[in-house]
Amino acid sequence: MISIKSNREIELMKIAGRINFETHQLLAKNIRPGITTQELNDIADAYIRSQGGIPSFLNYEGYPASICTSVNEEIVHGIPSKRKLKNGDIISIDIGVIYKGYHSDSAWTHPVGTISEKKQKLLDITKEALYRGIHEVKAGARLGDIGYAIESFALKNHLGVVRVLVGHGVGTNLHEDPDVPNYGQKNTGLVLKKGMTIAIEPMLNLGTEKVYMLDDDWTIVTGDNKPSAHFEHTVLVTDDGYEILTGDE
Ligand code: MF3
Ligand code: CO
């Protein structure tokens, strides 16, 4: 079932989104060679709670941390640990916040120190792919329009598009209907309606689109161990477009 949010629900999702965005900004300031992913986790956990939010990933289907930290070839669901970030790494940070029962979900990928040109291109293209997808959003547009915008831009830039993981509806649950794939055809799929809230989240790889899971049963890694990037926003569908709930655009 796809829920249409009331104005009251949208107001709560905006607060959850604002806390999420501020947590990302705070982590961005702390990312540097030498910091551990656990330290980033703890900074995020404390900030989210200080704002009256709850980190939604903690205990989600048994997930053992408050955020996901995925380094280099790790695509998503990397578990924070004593691992120290190194100069030249990239790190994807994925954050979920619940505020008064409403969820926000957002991911950014950051450089650590100085990174290669290839990695920088991967970050730039993945971020732009997210915004190209978002720019398709409005009442009456279709899910295939979003997927096509993301996939065609990624393929033009010779990146692998992860298909086994997709975006999703967001609201009183972290994951709701509908699925929001990062691939598709124009003019196909579900028609968007005003008041739907969806997470759009391209995951693009410098190499193969294939993935595998590490023995920790969470971390999803690229099939060829080449780097991957992930950008995600929670977005509200409006009559003439969209509102990004986890950003400042
Ligand atoms: N933001 C992630 C997604 O939408 C969800 C992470 S769930 C966790 O795919 F359990 F891994 F934290
Ligand atoms: Co998500």
CA 118 to chain centre: 21
Report the nearest atom of ligand 1 relative to the CA of 167. 4
What domains does the chain contain, in order, with CATH numbers?
A: 7-244 (3.90.230.10)
Q: Which amino acid is at 177?
A: D
Cis peptide before 227 (omega within 30 of 0): no
Residue with tokens 């991911």: 107
Nearest ligand, measured from the Cα of 63: 1
Predicted TM-score of the model (pTM): 0.98
Question: What separation, in Å, do the N-terminal and C-terminal C-alpha atoms of the chain show?
Answer: 29
Distance CA 22, CA 222 (A): 29
Distance (Å) from CA 132 to ligand 1 centroid: 22
Nearest alpha-carbon partner for 35 in 27, 46, 47: 27
What does the pLDDT profile of the chain (249 residues) look like in tens digits?
999 999 999 999 999 999 999 999 999 999 999 999 999 999 999 999 999 999 999 999 999 999 999 999 999 999 999 999 999 999 999 999 999 999 999 999 999 999 999 999 999 999 999 999 999 999 999 999 999 999 999 999 999 999 999 999 999 999 999 999 999 999 999 999 999 999 999 999 999 999 999 999 999 999 999 999 999 999 999 999 999 999 976
Residue written as token pair 């009559």: 239
* Structure tokens given for 67: 């955020």
